[in-house]
Amino acid sequence: MTRKTAKDFHPEVLRLFDKYVHGIIPRRDFLKSATKFAVGAMSAEVLLEALSPKFAAAQQVPPGDVRIKSEQVEFPSPQGYGKVHGLLVKPAKATGKLPTVLVVHENRGLNPHIEDIARRLALDGFIAFAPDALYPLGGYPGDEDKARELFPKLDQAKTREDFVAAANALKTLPEGNGKVGVVGFCYGGGIANFLATRLPDLAAAVPFYGNQPKAEEVPAIKAPLLIHYAGTDERINAGWPAYEAALKAAGVRYQAYFYPEVQHGFNNDTTPRYDEIAAKKAWQRTIEFFNTHLRA
């Protein structure tokens, strides 16, 4: 079966799906509005299923890959939910201390795609930790719709402190080199921006299509930034001019890339919004950026 891409869907269907996955509209509203674009056997339900993640088909690094070591770990988070829980992955045959990367998921918790991202980083010679913000509510439920329903129930102030605690834990990890970077996607991109404003010793931050911090918070950023945006992502891109102006005014080191004609979520290879060319280029830049700023 030929893999569907964003070009196989009407632009309005893609806009509706973006609203749905970000909790702006409920499932019933997506189905009602998408019905007008359903043709033949392609009902609104079928459209939604076609746009939804296919984790197994996109997996690049199996959990049992002998080149990596993976384990579920917990770190204390006294200002957050008490403890932060997630997947820690490292190269199996690492020698010497390695740089560490915090991997922050989208608004569905630690799903199989983000676990795979952490394993990919390990293959590139990093220690990666991917926390699950939904852990205090029972963890990622194995269902994207249920995960989206759970996410608004989190106390975001506590959740943000959990990510702060995770980054601080990586800094003191015995097998780490003391340098911590963060990469985040969508919600996680916003967290990457937040951590850059919060942690003066953060060594590098890579937000993918994430919400920008307030302008008054930007002068606190000390880490270099590598920022990825999707060309058609009007919702997120609307915040860029003010963010860029604040970055320039504060003298923050940053690189920003807009990938033309691609959708929000273009790096997520489990859905049709994935764009192979843009994703590979953005990921290559990300690894090079981390190699530059995180290795001694």
Q: Residue 114's closest CA among 133, 92, 97?
A: 133
Residues known to be catalytic: 186, 233, 264
| Rounded CA separation 204/226 (Å) | 8
| Residue 98 three-state SS | strand
| 266 and 274 Cβ atoms separated by less than 8 Å | yes
| 209 and 127 Cβ atoms separated by less than 8 Å | no
| Residue 42 three-state SS | strand
- Dihedrals phi, psi of 279, to nearest 5 degrees: -65, -45
| 48 and 138 Cβ atoms separated by less than 8 Å | no
| Residue 271 three-state SS | coil
Cα-Cα-Cα-Cα torsion 166, 172, 174, 178, nearest 10 degrees, comes to 110
